[in-house]
């Protein structure tokens, strides 16, 4: 009898039907889009801290009558040059006025002065830079020679001269500072305009017969103004320091209006008797100027795609 070899057949594996995803089964999740604030907190922590500090200073300046512990103009001659105490947290000045109250009210004048100077620089510098970069030829040459002439003078010396010619006061001194800052804004705007003017979309708009005004407003200005905005944010610190210098010399805010620079000027006369009088306005100016610089650098990095990556 012949033995038949039995062939072992492997059992076929059952074919599983695709199952519907059960509830709770993790699947591919869409990428979460972080908000602008979250991106800033992650990428620019120092810039966020600087912005919050400046925002706090602005709030304190706006609500100064509610925040200040005393009248900044009230004098107390017997209590002049007093040391910090429970009644006067930062002491009193040379005629007995509360230093903390004057510091709070002085933020109004100092910040307003910086805003006014930067606004004047932007209003003058941006249009001149656009005109010089877009028109070119003799217009560009004439405007740039004027800006070179202004930039050849030291900024504070030129501001002192303009203030002396137009009159002493906060508005006049800040207008002078704005005139001094305008050439740097104009040169930066001109350089960006020259770059953007050669872009293909601008040339296509020109060939399509668009007017120069429309090309400047719709194409050149939005694409060229970003570095100028960074420059203006950095000029806030320079304007704050310039206002302090002019007020220190008596060419800015006039007494009895409180200002950080004027407070430094009065405290300097009593440096030997009460050196602590210079600490409060000096630290306030330094912190605000540093915060403006840090915030300007953060804005520059966020607007530059290469540095943001």
Residue pair 134/220 in contact (Cβ under 8 Å)? The answer is yes
Average confidence (pLDDT) over 123-146: 89
Question: Which class for 246: exposed (0-12), middle (13-18), buried (19 or more C-beta within 10 A)?
Answer: buried
* Predicted confidence (pLDDT) at residue 26 exceeds the cutoff of 80: no
Task: Taking each helix axis as running N to C, give the angle between helix 99-135 and helix 45-62, from 0 to 180 degrees, rounded to the nearest 10.
Answer: 120
pLDDT tens figures, 212-254: 787 888 888 888 888 888 889 889 999 999 888 888 888 888 8
- List the CATH number of the domain containing 162: 1.10.3720.10
For the record, the structure tokens of 83 come out as: 């040391």
Q: The whole model's pTM is what? A: 0.80
In a domain, 231, yes or no: yes
In a domain, 217, yes or no: yes
In a domain, 10, yes or no: no
Coil vs helix vs strand at 209: coil
In a domain, 4, yes or no: no
Residue pair 104/163 in contact (Cβ under 8 Å)? The answer is no
Find the domain containing 269 and state its range: 45-68+89-304
* Predicted confidence (pLDDT) at residue 92 exceeds the cutoff of 80: yes
| Long-range Cβ contact pairs of 67-73 (< 8 A, separation 24 or more) | 67/104, 68/98, 68/100, 68/101, 68/104, 68/105, 69/98, 69/100, 69/101, 70/98, 70/100, 70/101, 71/98, 71/101, 72/97, 72/98, 72/101, 72/102, 72/104, 72/105, 72/106, 72/258, 73/97, 73/256
In a domain, 80, yes or no: no
In a domain, 17, yes or no: no
Q: Rg (Cα) of the chain, in Å, rounded?
A: 31
- Cβ neighbours for 67, distance < 8 A, ≥ 6 positions apart: 60, 104
Residue pair 242/259 in contact (Cβ under 8 Å)? The answer is no
Bridge partners for 218 per DSSP: none
In a domain, 186, yes or no: yes
Helices (runs of H) and strands (runs of E) counted in the chain: 14, 0
Average pLDDT, the chain: 82
Question: Alpha-carbon distance 114 to 178, whole Å?
Answer: 9
* Predicted confidence (pLDDT) at residue 72 exceeds the cutoff of 70: yes
* Predicted confidence (pLDDT) at residue 9 exceeds the cutoff of 50: no
pLDDT tens figures, 253-276: 888 888 898 899 888 888 888 888
Tally of structural domains, the chain: 1
For the record, the structure tokens of 35 come out as: 């908000």
In a domain, 178, yes or no: yes
Cis geometry, peptide bond prior to residue 256 (ω within 30 degrees of 0): yes
Average confidence (pLDDT) over 136-159: 84
């Amino acid at each position: 009898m012949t033995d038949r070899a039995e062939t072992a057949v492997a059992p076929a594996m059952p074919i599983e039907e695709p199952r519907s995803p059960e509830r709770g089964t993790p699947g591919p999740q869409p990428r979460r889009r972080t908000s602008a604030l979250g991106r800033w907190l992650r990428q620019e922590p120092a810039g966020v801290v600087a912005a919050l500090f400046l925002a706090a200073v602005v709030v304190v300046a706006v609500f100064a009558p509610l925040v200040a512990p005393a009248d900044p103009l009230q004098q107390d001659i017997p209590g002049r040059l007093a040391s910090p105490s429970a009644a006067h947290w930062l002491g009193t000045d040379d005629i007995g006025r509360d230093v903390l109250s004057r510091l709070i009210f002085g933020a109004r004048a100092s910040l307003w002065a910086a805003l006014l100077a930067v606004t004047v620089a932007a209003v003058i510098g941006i249009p001149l830079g656009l005109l010089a970069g877009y028109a070119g030829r003799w217009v560009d040459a004439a405007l740039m020679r004027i800006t070179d002439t202004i930039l050849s003078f030291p900024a504070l010396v030129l501001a002192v001269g303009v203030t002396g010619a137009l009159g002493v006061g906060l508005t006049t001194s800040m207008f002078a500072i704005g005139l001094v800052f305008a050439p740097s804004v104009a040169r930066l705007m001109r350089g960006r305009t020259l770059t953007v003017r050669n872009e293909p979309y601008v040339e296509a708009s020109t060939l399509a017969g668009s007017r120069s005004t429309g090309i400047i407003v719709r194409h050149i200005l939005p694409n060229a103004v970003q570095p100028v905005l960074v420059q203006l944010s950095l000029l806030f610190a320079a304007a704050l320091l310039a206002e302090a210098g002019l007020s220190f010399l008596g060419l800015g805010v006039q007494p009895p209006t409180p200002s950080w620079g004027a407070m430094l000027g009065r405290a300097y006369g009593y440096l030997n008797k009460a050196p602590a009088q210079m600490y409060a306005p000096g630290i306030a100016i330094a912190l605000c100027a540093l915060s403006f610089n840090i915030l300007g650098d953060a804005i520059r990095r966020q607007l530059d795609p290469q540095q943001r990556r």
